[in-house]
Chains A and B, each alone.
Chain A
Amino acid sequence: MNSIFKAGTVAIGALLLSTGAAFANPYEKYEGTTIVVSWPALSHFNKAEELIEEFTEETGIEVEVDALQYLKLRDRQLLEMSKDEGEYDIVSWVVMWKGEYVSKGLLTPLSQFYTMGSLVDPSYDINDIADGYLQNGGIVGGHKGYMPGKSGAMYGVPFGAETSILAYRKDIFEEQGIDVPATYDELRAAMAKLGEAGIPAMTSRGKTGHQVTAGWLLHLAPLGGKIFDDEWNPVINSPEAVEAAQVMREIAQTGPKGIPTFGFGEASAAFLQGDAAMYLDTLKIAAMSRDPKLSKVDGKVGFALHPVGSRCGSETGGFAMGIPANSQNKEAAFLFIQYMTSKKGDQRMVELGGDPIRISTLQNNADKFPDYSVVAEQLPCADPDWRPLIPEWNELNIDVLGQALTEVITTDKPIQPIMDAANEKARAIMEREGYYLWQ
């Protein structure tokens, strides 16, 4: 008797609650939901786990994180997203995968959430997010399919997005009497000088495949090179591209030992452990250099703009978060993304040792972190066409450039023929994929 009575009260109580539908806050409806997040095991994301705890406390939405090495994310995410019921409610992708995910119909367009008043935080202010980040990580379908344009639609919000800046060791530069390089000529002179002094000059990624190509791309844009011309003809054997390869070779020769084995982790560790005088790659290095667990060089690091060659052109990359089409908890997932990238969330990320995506956060913290004003100044130079984010990029990136550039940095062979051969291969791939049918 007693138990039936109890059950009855509970049922009536629940009924009252649901018919009332007067939720105390936008999160209440999703209390107790568990969402699963797939993202990389990078420093920024490790720090974010603390913000997640605050999110759960505040909203009652449970979050489970599945953190993987970032290059292993895609297989896993693709597999889960193509099942009828996948595991993930939020996926964080490297910007170069966004086109592929969307073209396969695996992501949910975010517009459907922005039309729901109960979900959208009025103080969110999306225009405050650095435009380069938003376009590069979240918008798909614009010019050439991956750049800004009217035909684009929003699928993700940047989180852990980045551009490139130069980090250097103030103490070493002072000791050797080297000025902070503003151009590539100065950079190469500085590398040569450090090399002669027996100090490993600049660290770089150099592992065969994606990593060595990423290292080279950093120099391609400022030196005026591109992967394709406007008709999709590969131009990776242009004088600019060959010069960028030459710079890579000089970096490998004057830099710390082992660059051909360095992935992202090893390359940054070399700088953070004090084994290299310069680091020219993602801005993530700034926050990492302040983390005593990762860094031995805190306080000795200066930051400067990415050196300029024939133009200014820095990286557009990093990560964005979106919602898989087969997620069962899309609305809770949207709330999570909104929370993490809100003004408050962005500020918390900075306090926890992560990287901001908002202009206001950069400005508000500029006094505290010297790199923020550099980043704010660098952002207009971030090149939306830094690399072609087309599905074929994968094969070009890993099989063609990743192989050719390994040859560049591990041998003394003339560079032009290596890049000529790579260009031929790239052309054959584009031909195979039908890019020249419109001509």
Chain B
Amino acid sequence: MATETSTTADRRGIVERLRASPFLSELLSNRLAIIGLSIILGMVLLGVYARLFLDLGAISQSQLAAHPNKAPPGWLGSAALDQFLFGTDAAARDIFKRVLYGAWLALKFGVLVVGASTVLGISLGIIAAYYGDVVDNVVMRTMDVFLAFPSLLLALALVAIFGAGLSKVVIALTLVYTPRFARVVRGAALKVLEDEYIDATVALGARDPRVLVRHVLPNCLAPITVQSTLNFGLAIIDLAALSFLGFGAQAGTPSWGLMLKNGVSNGLLTGDWWLSFFPGLFLAVTVLGFNLLGDGMRDALDPRMRETVE
């Protein structure tokens, strides 16, 4: 896609270049994708704000002595409007601050999982496609074994091996997501490898690593980006799910999954809905953002969709 226009495009300004790319102009005219992108950027801002200005120690520890516990959101009752926007939890901690910090944790660990599995998946996928035969078979059959497990269950099995904790959950989920990337990348790379310019590069004497990194990889980037975006949403859900089941974030950590777990055990029967409502809302909205953007990107890439999708 980029190769034929790159020489002329280099001389143009960034705006023209954006317009010249059918993918980007398509994406930017997709209203839902723009909404998705805005949600993600908004969450990034909130997360970074929380990371910079909120005291992690204070929002992790119980505040029972200083605050009322399980106080409903301020705007519902007696408390001043600015106090406890989302109420407090069973340990009297401010849910609003914890939810904001949760955005930072979700994005940070999401980036780790998706980043690591993208890099691993790209390497395995391209190697399998390029070397073919035995290498391809060994790599892809191994991936098949991992894909034979429902993803959350494989993650749970790996957690049984590695133990609980956010960093271990990141390793487990990286292993769960790598095969998906490997499969997509392999497919895309096989298609690229059929092109004549690859033969030309090889004929000119380029070595394997150069062919793979300079020529095959850049031409597989589009499907990889779509896959990363869509999987980002899934990764955030799985991260939260493992914390919800008690294997991810440890007690006190303001992770959305753990807050939901606490909400279920402390607020369900007593009707303290705000304990579960707000962490889940932020989680769902963030995931929705990634799904909207990923969907838009996929539509923009698929020429068949262009005629009809707004």
Decide if A and B are genuine partners.
no
Chain B residues within CB distance 8 Å of chain A: none
